[in-house]
């Protein structure tokens, strides 16, 4: 076999592997999408050609499921988490990136180490603390927990983006008389905007999909979408048609968000890889 033939064979193998990987990812989503438009009886048949129905999407918003309230809780918690986490994480990341702080390495290691602590280990202390503070089953409690989850991740990610910004641009602005705050506002933040947006996307996804803490710390008023899926049970067992419809509702915002900001997302990821 010649070198050219080996190269073509290797290229064809790559294409096959990519197609297999795409199929593995997309087939479950396609099955969920199809099930969302079927009745419960049709769920257990192999017939793909059935009359589609929108009844499932109406039912999930009615009692006792009330998916609308859970959608509002998830949206509010995730949005406020990002709105609070990104500014604070940006200030911390800029300090770590541009100043030589006492114990800087130790602080960064501690921040990173929090990401390796299993959530199941700390959920009970959070439960006891929130019970004493009266924050159980509240959106404020969930926001506080999500901030604790995403903040270390956001600090490390944004620090990588700021490290990629040439410090010469800041020094030139300060030579021209700009203050440190103005440099951050007019130079650093515009240049780091794709990176901040990327970090915000990841933080939103983490908060949107968070399950364990929401399961333990909520009961009725602050229940989020992932927990709401557990309600779709009946005498027949799991109501897969309603579960699929609710799953589509959970996934669609993420797909729309990804499509809307894909250009900035790719730019941010590329920027964070440059040093």
- Comparing C-alpha atoms, which of 216, 29, 18, 233 is closest to residue 135? 216
- The verdict on 156 and 20 lying in the same domain is no
Q: What is the pLDDT along the chain (275 residues), one digit of tens a residue?
A: 676 777 888 888 888 999 999 888 888 888 888 888 888 888 777 666 777 888 889 988 988 888 889 999 999 999 999 999 999 999 999 988 888 878 888 888 888 888 888 888 899 999 999 999 999 999 999 999 999 999 998 998 898 888 888 888 888 888 888 888 888 888 888 888 888 888 898 899 899 989 999 999 998 888 998 898 878 877 767 788 888 899 888 888 888 877 777 666 665 555 544 44
Q: Are 162 and 236 in contact (CB under 8 A)?
A: no
- The verdict on 32 and 83 lying in the same domain is no
- The verdict on 19 and 151 lying in the same domain is no
- The verdict on 66 and 18 lying in the same domain is no
Residue 46 included in any domain: no
With residue 234 as reference, give the H or E element that holds it.
Answer: strand 233-234
Residue 43 included in any domain: no
Number of compact structural domains in the chain: 2
Domain that holds residue 112: 59-272
Q: How far apart are alpha carbons 60 and 66 in whole angstroms?
A: 6
pTM, entire model:
0.84
Per-residue 3-state assignment (H helix, E strand, C coil) for 109-149:
HHHHHHHHCCHHHHHHHHHHHHHHHCCCCCHHHHHHHHHHH
- The verdict on 173 and 123 lying in the same domain is yes
The pLDDT of residue 186: 86
- The verdict on 92 and 151 lying in the same domain is yes
- The verdict on 200 and 241 lying in the same domain is yes
Asked if the bond preceding 124 is cis, omega within 30° of 0, the reply is no
Q: How far apart are alpha carbons 61 and 63 in whole angstroms?
A: 7
Residue 262 included in any domain: yes
Cα torsion at 92, 97, 98, 101 (round to 10°)? Answer: 70
Rg (CA), the chain: 24
The pLDDT of residue 274: 45
């Amino acid at each position: 076999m010649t070198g050219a033939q080996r190269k073509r064979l290797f290229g064809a193998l790559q294409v096959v592997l990519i197609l297999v990987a795409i199929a593995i990812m997309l087939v479950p989503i396609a099955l969920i999408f199809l099930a969302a438009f079927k009745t419960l009886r049709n769920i257990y048949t192999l017939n793909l050609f059935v009359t589609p129905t929108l009844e499932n999407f109406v039912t999930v918003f009615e009692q006792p499921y009330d998916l609308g309230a859970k959608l509002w809780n998830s949206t509010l918690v995730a949005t406020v988490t990002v709105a609070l986490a990104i500014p604070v994480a940006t200030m911390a990341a800029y300090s770590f990136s541009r100043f030589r702080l006492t114990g800087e390495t130790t602080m960064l290691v501690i921040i990173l180490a929090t990401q390796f602590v299993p959530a199941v280990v700390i959920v009970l202390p959070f439960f006891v603390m929130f019970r004493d503070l009266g924050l159980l089953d509240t959106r404020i409690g969930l926001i506080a927990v999500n901030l604790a989850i995403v903040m270390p991740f956001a600090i490390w990610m944004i620090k990588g983006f700021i490290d990629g910004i040439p410090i010469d641009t800041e020094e030139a602005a300060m030579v021209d008389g700009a203050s440190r705050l103005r440099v951050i506002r007019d130079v650093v933040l515009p240049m780091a905007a794709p990176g901040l947006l990327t970090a915000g996307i990841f933080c939103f996804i983490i908060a949107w999909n968070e399950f364990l803490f929401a399961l333990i710390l909520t009961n009725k008023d602050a229940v989020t979408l992932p927990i709401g899926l557990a309600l779709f049970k009946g005498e027949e067992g799991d109501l897969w048609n309603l579960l699929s419809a609710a799953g589509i509702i959970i996934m669609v915002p993420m797909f729309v968000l990804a499509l809307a900001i894909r250009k900035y997302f790719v730019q941010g990821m590329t920027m964070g890889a440059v040093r």
